[in-house]
């Protein structure tokens, strides 16, 4: 079953066409038109436009520049920090406290809100440069024909109908239909994901639905010419180009989406607001029945409502996310947007580009076939690291001669160069030829020696009809030898002899079948296979020490077949393990690439992403409606030959299935999907500037495994926020229950406003901040991701919260009643206040894990919490013996023995809760 039949075989849907009509009238349809039709449509000719006509078109159509995206002002970013319902509840609580005369409470609450806004603004203040960064991919200058002459003009002055002149190294300045091409190859990886340089030719393509990467008669803005020369008529400029299409998608995808955490906290905020109003109504009702004065009743009710708000929550969330950013930075993941930390932890699907993300992004020779033997080539990319091995052993001297024979051909017929920049090797020229240079050196060849001792005499450039290139060199013995590389099938037809370990022998049908079988075996592994041969030339005009020129027919016949070279863009060594970790954590990995379907499917199988032999193609995606794609998306793990628009549609289809989607990539074609995903992740080394600016997070080492570590950190952040929220709300519940029971019973108020402030901001607030720094649970990656709609305050959370609040309030109420019977109201309030403080501080150790009892969680793993709790207990004991603090907190003195008894009573809720964990543990075994 071919890749094109995948979706049809899997599902039966009526096809619904999806196309961008406006765009199909610009650049997209011209591959189906002849060069003459393109010239006629734009009123141009091979001589180019006149200067006057070009000026008129420039005035009418505007400059060849990408439109700037809408920038977000610093004021908008600052105002965005106040979108949360919880923030407005805190502001209301602060204002009400001020109106009631509790200025200290009001100042403290509003200070927390302000600090939270400042931290969030600092983290997110970054200019929206996604569209502007695309400009770095456009050519500042371009060569065009005007009035029959080739001139260099600013790329922004190019208009439709201009004739571009292209040569190796040029950046293409606009989308154009080829008129002529001589061995032209273009590097389009940033736009299409294709890792190899693409061969270009001017012939008309008759097939209608052709993926962007297969439009061989078109060149596109933002790509570059890797080899050869060409001439093309411009058919689209500025925002009408394929690059402009990406820019438009960036704006479309750039609308802000609330993160899962933001949605959950907003939902919690609404519950909190309703609860506060409910408390006020309840207190008013009880007080009215008891005949309490209305003003006193109102003041008490409002105080209770303010007490219900966990003032430290926003600060804790901000601190937890900020610390997560710092931890991720140490793991080589730079986070640009604060909320992305937690969102990554709830990710259920990671969509990843192939080229440069799962793979090295550099062509690498993997196998050599020469003298009837297969050799393995180790190492990745263009660097010298690696060696040639035979049967898992380093080759010995008996293999050096045949390897050198093959190395001489692949090095001698080569136009690329390898350069080292900042410790990284890269190729100048065709990436395939760069891979041949690296392999030839590992096989024992010496490029510099060949250039010196085998001087070049003539070149026969590659063309798409022959699929071969040849270089004629003079050997040290004075003979002329043609070195030829090309497609194995056509090359074999020209060979009459074969190189073997015993010498040059006539090629038999058996030899030919064996070589073809080896070629097929390599191709089935998604390897690109290149054949090498040579021929010693006789005759020729040697005038001036150089041949006057051999024709192709004179050179490419009666060849000696030397061997095969198999190469591919290899998977990153760490990628397979990272994919396995994602799957073990319940995270689905989906490959979305612009590369060939066979290559994508093979890499996916090697990495364990998919066991299927086929990939869904962009042409198939194009024919599906959004609803059809939504239904199919959960069952597809590999997409190939897709464009930037397809990637964005796939992301949205997954999100429509309630998946939290992270998108990783490095090319321009990844940028819209990265911006549209819940979490966009760019590669720091190989990523284009536009991709980095579109992303929420940047992986500085381009290591897919780093994403898994970032997910682990994100899950840890969410767990810390959840446990901190549990800690704060359970404490507030205990305070409210205690206050409500006492008021309803007609007892004096057990806690004064200063006591509530001290408990909420100091006793609860400081340990809560420490809980936000807790290291991630070792088992955090053994659980499936949270569902997008799962509430942060689920049934288990609420059950624990109310149980904890009941235990805390029960202990405090018992102490309060006992103190009232034996002492004054001041002593009773001091006792209730102190036991509540001790209970809250001790309970912070138990809240660190929902399943493991406190003695199985090392207290030394969070030294900050241990220090804060110890100091807070010490301060609370000191309060009873310091007159100044006593007056400030309105407490009375008490003997140390009584304080220690209250400390023991405060441990009761912790002990009961931990026993409950043990019992639940036995039940689940």
By DSSP bridging, strand 616-617 and strand 638-640 are parallel
Q: What is the spatial distance between Cα 335 and Cα 699, in angstroms, rounded to a whole number? A: 9
Residue among 588, 822, 618, 843 at smallest CA distance from 729: 843
Euclidean distance between the first and the last CA atom of the chain, given in angstroms as a whole number: 48
Q: How far is CA 842 from the centre of its chain?
A: 41
891: its two tokens = 């407490």
Residue that is written with structure tokens 């607030």 in the block: 765
Q: What is the spatial distance between Cα 337 and Cα 696, in angstroms, rounded to a whole number? A: 5
Catalytic residue among 353, 569, 696, 774: 353
Helices 85-99 and 103-124 cross at an angle (nearest 10°) of: 150
Q: What is the spatial distance between Cα 483 and Cα 485, in angstroms, rounded to a whole number? A: 7
Q: How far is CA 235 from the centre of its chain?
A: 33
Torsion of CA 129, 132, 133, 139, to 10 degrees: -170
291: its two tokens = 């005949």
Q: What is the spatial distance between Cα 879 and Cα 762, in angstroms, rounded to a whole number? A: 14
Q: What is the spatial distance between Cα 853 and Cα 534, in angstroms, rounded to a whole number? A: 75
Sign of CA dihedral 110, 116, 119, 124: negative
Instruction: Specify the DSSP element, H or E, that contains 863.
Output: helix 863-879
Q: How far is CA 14 from CA 268, 628, 713, 888, in A?
A: 43, 9, 44, 76
Torsion of CA 7, 9, 12, 17, to 10 degrees: 40
Residue among 569, 598, 697, 767 at smallest CA distance from 259: 697
Q: What is the spatial distance between Cα 787 and Cα 260, in angstroms, rounded to a whole number? A: 9
Alpha helices (runs of H) in 595-746, residue ranges in sequence order: 597-607, 618-622, 626-632, 644-656, 671-676, 689-694, 704-745
Q: How far is CA 1 from the centre of its chain?
A: 32
Instruction: Specify the DSSP element, H or E, that contains 659.
Output: none
Q: How far is CA 542 from CA 457, 539, 547, 550, 811, in A?
A: 10, 8, 5, 11, 108
The yes-or-no answer on residue 764 being catalytic is: no
DSSP string spanning 398-444? GGHHHHHHHHHHHHHS---EEEEETTEEEEES-HHHHHHHHHHHHTT
Helices 896-906 and 825-846 cross at an angle (nearest 10°) of: 50
DSSP string spanning 808-852? HHHHHHHHHHHHHHHS-HHHHHHHHHHHHHHHHHHHHHHTT-SSS
Q: CB-based contacts of 257: which residues, under 8 Å, 6+ apart?
A: 678
DSSP string spanning 599-618? HHHHHHHHHTS---S--EEH
Q: What is the spatial distance between Cα 346 and Cα 722, in angstroms, rounded to a whole number? A: 13
Instruction: Specify the DSSP element, H or E, that contains 128.
Output: none
Residue among 841, 353, 348, 277 at smallest CA distance from 642: 353
Query: In this structure, what DSSP letter does residue 161 have?
Result: T
Q: What is the spatial distance between Cα 28 and Cα 11, in angstroms, rounded to a whole number? A: 29
Indicate the SS3 state at residue 130: helix
Q: Which residues are catalytic?
A: 353
């Amino acid at each position: 079953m071919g890749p094109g039949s995948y979706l049809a075989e899997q599902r039966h849907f009526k096809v619904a066409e999806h196309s961008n009509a406006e765009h199909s009238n610009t650049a997209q349809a011209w591959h189906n038109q002849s060069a003459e039709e393109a010239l006629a449509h734009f009123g141009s000719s091979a001589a180019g436009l006149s200067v006057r006509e070009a000026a008129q078109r420039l005035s009418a159509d505007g400059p060849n520049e990408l439109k700037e995206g809408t920038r977000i002002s610093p004021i908008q970013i600052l105002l965005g920090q106040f979108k949360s319902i919880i923030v407005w509840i805190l502001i209301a609580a602060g204002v009400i406290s001020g109106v009631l005369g509790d200025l200290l409470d009001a100042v403290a609450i509003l200070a927390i809100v302000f600090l939270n806004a400042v931290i969030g603004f600092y983290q997110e203040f970054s200019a929206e440069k996604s569209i502007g960064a695309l400009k770095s991919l456009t050519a500042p200058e371009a060569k065009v024909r005007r009035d029959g002459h080739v001139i260099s003009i600013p790329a922004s002055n190019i208009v439709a109908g201009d004739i571009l002149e292209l040569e190796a190294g040029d950046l293409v300045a606009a989308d154009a239909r080829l008129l002529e091409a001589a061995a032209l190859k273009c590097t389009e990886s940033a736009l299409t994901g294709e890792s190899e340089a693409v061969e270009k030719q001017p012939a008309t393509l008759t097939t209608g639905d052709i993926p962007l990467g297969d439009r061989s008669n078109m060149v596109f803005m933002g790509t570059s010419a890797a080899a050869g020369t060409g001439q093309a008529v411009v058919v689209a400029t500025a925002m009408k180009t394929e690059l402009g299409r990406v820019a438009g998608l960036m704006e479309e995808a750039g609308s802000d989406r609330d993160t899962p955490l933001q949605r959950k906290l907003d939902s919690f905020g609404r519950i909190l607001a309703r609860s506060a109003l409910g408390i006020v109504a309840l207190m008013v009702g009880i007080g009215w029945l008891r005949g309490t004065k209305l003003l006193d009743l109102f003041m008490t009710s409002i105080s209770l409502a303010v007490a219900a708000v966990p003032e430290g929550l926003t600060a804790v969330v901000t601190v937890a996310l900020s610390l997560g950013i710092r931890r991720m930075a140490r793991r080589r993941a730079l986070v640009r947007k604060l909320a992305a930390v937690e969102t990554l932890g709830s990710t259920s699907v990671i969509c990843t580009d192939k080229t440069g993300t799962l793979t090295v992004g550099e062509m690498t020779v993997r196998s050599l076939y020469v003298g009837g033997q297969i050799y393995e080539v180790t190492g990745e990319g263009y660097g010298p690291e690696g060696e040639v091995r035979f049967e898992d052993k380093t080759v010995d001297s008996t293999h050096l001669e045949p390897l050198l024979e093959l190395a001489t051909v692949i090095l001698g017929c080569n136009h690329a160069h390898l350069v080292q920049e900042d410790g990284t090797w890269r190729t100048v020229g065709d990436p395939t030829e760069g891979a041949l240079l690296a392999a030839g050196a590992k096989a024992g060849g010496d490029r510099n020696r060949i250039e010196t001792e085998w001087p070049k005499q003539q070149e026969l450039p590659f063309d798409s009809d022959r699929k071969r290139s040849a270089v004629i060199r003079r050997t040290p013995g004075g003979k002329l030898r043609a070195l030829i590389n090309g497609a194995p099938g056509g090359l074999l037809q020209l060979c009459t002899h074969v190189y073997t370990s015993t010498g040059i022998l006539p090629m038999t049908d058996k030899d030919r079948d064996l070589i073809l079988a080896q070629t097929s075996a390599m191709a089935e592994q998604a390897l690109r296979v290149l054949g090498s041969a040579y021929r010693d030339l006789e005759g020729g005009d040697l005038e001036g020490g150089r041949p006057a020129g051999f024709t192709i027919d004179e050179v490419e016949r009666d060849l000696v077949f030397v061997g095969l070279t198999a190469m591919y863009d290899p998977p990153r060594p760490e990628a397979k393990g990272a994919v396995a970790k994602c799957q073990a954590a319940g995270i689905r990995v989906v490959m979305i690439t612009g590369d060939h379907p066979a290559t994508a499917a093979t890499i996916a199988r090697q990495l364990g992403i998919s066991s299927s032999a086929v990939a869904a193609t962009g042409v198939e995606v194009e024919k599906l409606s959004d609803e059809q794609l939504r239904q199919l998306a959960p069952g597809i793990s590999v997409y190939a030959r897709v464009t930037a628009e397809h990637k964005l549609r796939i992301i949205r289809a997954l999100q429509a299935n309630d998946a939290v989607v992270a998108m990783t990539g490095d090319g321009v074609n990844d940028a819209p999907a990265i911006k549209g995903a819940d979490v966009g992740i760019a590669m720091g080394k190989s990523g284009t500037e536009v991709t980095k600016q579109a992303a929420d997070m940047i992986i500085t080492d381009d290591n897919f495994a780093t994403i898994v570590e970032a997910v682990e950190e994100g899950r840890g952040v969410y767990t810390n926020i959840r446990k901190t929220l549990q800690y704060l709300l359970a404490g507030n519940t205990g305070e409210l229950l205690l206050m409500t029971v006492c008021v309803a019973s007609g007892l004096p108020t057990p806690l004064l406003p200063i006591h509530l402030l001290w408990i909420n901001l100091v006793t609860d607030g400081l340990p809560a901040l420490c809980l936000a720094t807790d290291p991630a649970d070792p088992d955090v990656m053994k659980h499936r991701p949270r569902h997008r709609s799962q509430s942060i305050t689920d049934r288990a959370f609420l059950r624990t919260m109310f149980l904890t609040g009941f235990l805390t309030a029960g202990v405090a109420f018992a102490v309060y009643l006992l103190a009232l019977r034996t002492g004054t109201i001041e002593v009773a309030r001091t006792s209730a206040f102190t036991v509540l403080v001790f209970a809250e501080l001790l309970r912070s150790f138990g809240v660190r894990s929902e399943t493991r009892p406190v003695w199985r969680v090392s207290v030394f793993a969070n030294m900050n919490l241990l220090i804060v709790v110890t100091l807070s207990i010490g301060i609370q004991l000191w309060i009873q013996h310091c007159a100044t603090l006593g007056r400030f907190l309105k407490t009375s003195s008490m003997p140390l023995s009584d304080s220690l008894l209250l400390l023991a009573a405060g441990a009761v809720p912790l002990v009961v809760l931990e026993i409950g964990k043990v019992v639940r543990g036995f039940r689940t075994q």
